[in-house]
Each structure stands twice: as C-alpha cells, then as structure tokens.
Amino acid sequence: MFFYSRYPSTNTLKRIFSDVKFTRATTSQLIKWFSNFREFFYIQVEKFARQALSDGIIEPNQLQVSRDSEVYRVLNLHYNKNEDFVVPPEFDNAIHRSLQEFFVAIQRGKDRESSWKKSIYKVICKFDQPVPDAFKSPHFPP
C-alpha cells in the first residue's frame, strides 16, 4: 500500500483495512506504522541525495532512478521483501522527485535550518495515488 500512498487518510485506512475494528488505538497504530514507513523512505532518499552530491553531481536532472538503481533496490527490498507486489511506476516517480527535492535542499544548505524537510514533505504527499481496490480483498495478496 505504501507504494501508492505515503500519507493515507484515516478514511483510506478504514477502506483498505475493512477487517480491522477501528478504535482510537488501532487508528493511532496504523498511522504510526505509516509514519515509520515514511521515515525509512526519507532517510534512504536523503542518504542517496547526499551521496550524489559527494560524487560530484551538480544538477538535479542528472539524478536517475531506475529499477536497477541502488535507492530503488533498497526501498523495494524494505517494502516488498518477498517481491509479492508489482511496484507501480508512480512509486518510481515519487522516489525520483524525492531524491531531487532532497538534493536541491541539501545543495542550497537548507539542511542547516530547522524543519527543512517540511517543504519536501508537502511536495511528495502530492504523489500519493489512490490505493487499488484489490487491496481490500480478503484474498490479497494473491
């Protein structure tokens, strides 16, 4: 589900996890899990942006994310250990844009400011896609 939505709303969570009895505690736990998923995502992307800068890349358009790239491999391994899911191309776009956003912010020294990542988060949340209805199926994953 993280491949589609890094910032799922409570309504999305309730729609996808229809078998869960939602209470304040279960809702809080699901939100916490997604927060942890996002944190791992952003830590990895930031690490690769810093590496690109140290490798001498100077333009964000020089950054490439393919299914063979290390950043993609690390993220896919974390979220899709058994390769049970087909990763949607939109996730590739979210990685690529995140990498560029971190790269530019670090390059401009924004990382020395408090809350420097908030502007990046606002950009990346716009890459969320509707979660396919197949995720609601009791037989999912196939």
pLDDT of residue 60: 95
pLDDT at residue 74 is higher than 70? yes
Q: How far is CA 28 from CA 3, 22, 34, 46, 125, in A?
A: 21, 9, 10, 26, 19
Q: Three-class SS of residue 114?
A: coil
Q: Where are the domains of the chain?
A: 38-130
Which class does domain 38-130 fall in? mainly alpha
Percent residues over pLDDT 90 in the chain: 75
Q: pLDDT of 99-126, one tens digit each?
A: 999 999 999 999 999 999 999 999 999 9
Distance CA 23, CA 43 (A): 30
**Sole residue written with tokens 């229809």:** 18
Q: pLDDT of 5-40, one tens digit each?
A: 999 988 888 888 888 899 999 999 999 999 999 999
pLDDT of residue 142: 59
